[in-house]
């Protein structure tokens, strides 16, 4: 028997009731705003002109919209995520705060063909097998700036590990990669951007344990030349 539901069946994002509840709370503004979302919004502000578009790649349920709206950043927000259940949460709760549900799209990064003034991607690429193809899509989509928060350190480290924080009885693995910082930045710049490394405010350059594994969060701000 052959089916075509493999991505959903093996996606960790579709197998965590705890995560879905957290994303719901963030959409309803009942959970504390993430420090990385605050920092990403502040990094974006100097590059924005009224009416610009922002594409949030790997948006979860789209709650970064609140970080933009609460700071009155004059942009139109769009988000994509490959997990239908997470997008459904945003489509249900964010319209009450002014975001049309059609601004949130169910889509894998690899399938994306888009144009936006600014592209945001936070905490996504380290959970993929490698960064080259999805980051290329991101860079090809951005007309002005790209802001990325990713796990990067001096030397790359690739892991494929069991996720012990999923729903009971769920036996799935996930990539927990850290990419070489200089190589990551050089890749960005090879697509016609000037990239700057910015220390992550939440971790202050120290590794953070997530699902039992070290993540080396770093921000990159890239301006198109």
C-alpha distances out from residue 188 to 126, 184, 195, Å: 16, 7, 7
State pLDDT tens for residues 158-177. 999 999 999 999 999 999 99
* Domain assignment of residue 1, yes or no: no
Percent of the chain as helix, strand, coil, to the nearest 5: 35, 30, 35
Our count of domains for the chain comes to 1
Asked if residues 122 and 36 have their Cβ atoms less than 8 Å apart, the reply is: yes
* Domain assignment of residue 109, yes or no: yes
* Domain assignment of residue 196, yes or no: yes
Q: What is the pTM of this model?
A: 0.97
State pLDDT tens for residues 95-134. 999 999 999 999 999 999 999 999 999 999 999 999 999 9
* Domain assignment of residue 168, yes or no: yes
* Domain assignment of residue 219, yes or no: yes
* Domain assignment of residue 101, yes or no: yes
CATH of the domain at 84: 3.40.50.150
* Domain assignment of residue 155, yes or no: yes
Q: Collect the ranges in the chain with pLDDT lower than 50.
A: none
* Domain assignment of residue 53, yes or no: yes
Q: How many CA atoms lie within 13 A of 56 on its CB side?
A: 28
Domain of residue 29: give its range: 6-224
């Amino acid at each position: 028997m052959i089916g075509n539901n493999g991505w959903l069946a093996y996606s960790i994002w579709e197998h965590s009731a705890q995560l879905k509840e957290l994303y719901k709370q963030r959409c309803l503004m009942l959970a504390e705003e993430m420090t990385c979302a605050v920092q990403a919004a502040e990094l974006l502000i100097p590059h924005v002109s009224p009416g610009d578009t922002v594409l949030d790649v790997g948006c979860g349920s789209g709650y970064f919209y609140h970080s933009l709206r609460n700071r009155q950043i004059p942009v139109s927000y769009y988000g994509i995520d490959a997990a239908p259940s997470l997008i459904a949460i945003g489509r249900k709760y964010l319209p009450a705060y002014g975001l049309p549900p059609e601004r949130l799209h169910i889509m894998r990064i690899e399938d994306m063909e888009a144009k936006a003034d600014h592209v945001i991607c936070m905490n996504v690429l380290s959970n993929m097998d490698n960064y080259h193809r999805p980051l290329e899509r991101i860079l090809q989509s951005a007309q002005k700036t790209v802001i990325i928060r990713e796990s990067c350190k001096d030397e790359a480290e690739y892991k494929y590990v069991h996720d012990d924080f999923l729903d009971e009885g769920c036996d799935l693995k996930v990539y927990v990669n850290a990419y070489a910082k200089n190589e990551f930045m050089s890749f960005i710049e090879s697509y016609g951007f000037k990239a700057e490394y910015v220390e992550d405010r939440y971790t202050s350059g120290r590794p953070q344990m997530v699902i039992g594994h070290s993540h080396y969060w770093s921000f990159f701000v890239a301006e198109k030349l």
